[in-house]
Amino acid sequence: MYDYNLDGLSEAFLIELAKEGVSNELMERLAKNKHENVRIAVAQKENLSESVMDRLAEDESKLVRELICKRKKLTRKIVEKLSEDEEPDIRLCIARRKSLPKEILENLAKDSDKWVRMEIARRNRLPDEVLKVLANDKDVEVRLLIAERPNIPRDVEQILKNDPEWIVRFQMKVREGGK
């Protein structure tokens, strides 16, 4: 293992090093750099090792974590970690991913942030358990998104037909052709 001595190098030079990304060892070191812009440059690099991405998924900078979140390929471990991020925008970014494991969908359906739950409610395919959680959501907008879905299980329909908000009950009547 080569010992890269990065002390005394300018931030601009370190950013250029990150863009070149000659070795995984160097990228590991740069991913721990004190300068946010250096870590951003690392996060923007295409071929990062899992360990570098894992490190950046825990970065103090929201922007660095967001750059990792937006990558096409992430390990389940990193998706899980980011789905529990303190920042709602990061969890929202995860909620927008094309495919998510059932457990992560279930957790995001119970998220403290309404916008995350709404993003989950907009997904084309959801397990029945997740639909049930969202049909019982505290926010009417989330429940309305579920009521507007073309196909929902009967038990979820029943929950929504008895919703406390008239607009959700009305949407359920519209589904039935106004009966």
C-alpha closest to that of 39 among 19, 24, 23: 19
Cα gap 166→170, rounded to integer Å: 6
Q: Which segments in the chain show pLDDT lower than 70?
A: 1-5, 178-179
The percentage of residues in the chain with a pLDDT greater than 70, rounded to a whole number, is 96
The reported pLDDT for the residue numbered 179 is 56
24 and 33 Cβ atoms separated by less than 8 Å: no
Q: How many domains, the chain?
A: 1
**pLDDT (0 to 100) of residue 1:** 43
b/e code 112-126 from CB counts within 10 Å (16+ = b): eeebbbbbbbebeeb
Q: Is 154 part of a structural domain of the chain?
A: no
Question: Can you give the pTM of this predicted structure?
Answer: 0.89
Residue 104 included in any domain: no
Residue 23: give the domain boundaries.
1-73
Count the Cβ atoms, other than its own, within 10 Å of residue 67. Answer: 20
Tell me the Cα Rg of the chain.
Answer: 22
- Backbone φ and ψ for 63, nearest 5 degrees, come out as -65, -40
Q: Residue 3: what pLDDT?
A: 55
54 within domain boundaries:
yes
